[in-house]
Copies of this chain bind each other. A is one copy, B any other.
Amino acid sequence: MGRNRATLADVARRAGLSKTAASMVLNGREGTRLSAEAHQRVFAAAEELGYRPNLAARSLRTRKTATIAFVSDIVATTRFAGGLIRGALDAARERDHVLLITETQGDATFEQYAIEAMLDRQVDGVIYAAMATRRLTVPQAILGGPVVLLNATSSDTLPCVLPDDDRAGRSVATALLEHGHRDAIALIGRNRLKEGDPEVSLAARARLRGIHQALGDAGVTLLAECFCTDWLPEHGYAAMRGLLNRQQRPSAVICMNDRLAFGAYQALGEAGLTVPDDISVISFDDDPIAAWLRPSLATTALPHEQMGRRAVELLLDGGAAEPTLVPMPLRRRKSLAPPAG
């Protein structure tokens, strides 16, 4: 790869100058007393030879590689969290940096390996990302340089980027209140593990807090809260069936994520009920399926691209020690309507 590349020495020779002179000209160093003509010659030589510096050689001296490590548990290959990478990639490109990506799969051995591989390559900093928003323990080894946590926090005081789930919870509840729902709002997706263990999820508790807060401010309490062992469609389906078996049917349902909502739609369809005429549904994440559902599902978007972007910006431009909360925009879609009757 890249054999026959012209070196700085080639450029200098062609320009009839020293490597030093060529280096200074090409790096636009100020305050050097090199003639305008020397500048011309160097630029011309570099142009003609198609010279590009060997970054490996450069970094040996400068200790900068313009390379960022992106270490994640499994985010890199997760269906819709690729947005994190896309945002990071964009921001990195804008700053002339490049991303070295690895995945630990939650395996300590892999993590160890990945981190050493990164440090051996002298990366300028590390973005440590989690698939589920949660608290985690950062490996000692990377604390020697800049680190930003993405979709995660830790007990160390590291800069981190998180979605604003609390505010998202409030938006969701507020959207229902605005449509006139009050005393027949149900919730699908309570989960003790997610709510209780910050290392499993920070989102669950924050969303819940926002929901309860907004409803509480309006003097409303939930009609029902369904517990689910996980947040997959099958659990939303079961929960919705349960709700429909109760004496009072809800006028609206909040699902803790879109996959649960998908399951809820399935149960509603089977029961011959229509969204939103019979029941409104609103949710979190803005998974691609949200827009594909019929009717399209109102939800609050996880701003993955923004988050990835912010992480790179924090790492490279420096910034806040306190958590960076990225807003989760409300996507108003067709699953919302005033209560029936």
Contacts and interface: CB of A to CB of B under 8 A. Distances in A.
Interface in A67-81: 67, 76-80
Contacts of A103: 86, 89
A120 B124 CA distance: 16
Interface string A7-25: 0000000000000000000
Contacts of A93: 102, 110, 113-114
A3 B117 contact: no
B79 A288 contact: yes
Contacts of A289: 289
A292 B1 contact: no
B121 A98 contact: yes
Contact of A292 (B86, B113, B233): B233
Protomer copies: 2
A125 B1 contact: yes
Contacts of A67: 100, 121
Contact of A82 (B78, B102, B294): B78
Interface stretch (A39-47, A55-63, A166-174, A333-341): A55-63
A279 B325 CA distance: 48
B99 A100 contact: yes
Contact of A2 (B99, B122, B232): B122
Nearest to A103: B89
A262 interface: yes
A98 B82 contact: no
A250 interface: no
Given A67-B121, A78-B82, A79-B79, A89 B60 contact: no
A28 interface: no
A117 B99 CA distance: 11
A327 interface: no
- Going nearest first, the 9 A-B pairs with the smallest beta carbon separation are A1-B145, A77-B86, A77-B82, A233-B292, A55-B120, A2-B119, A79-B79, A101-B101, A56-B56
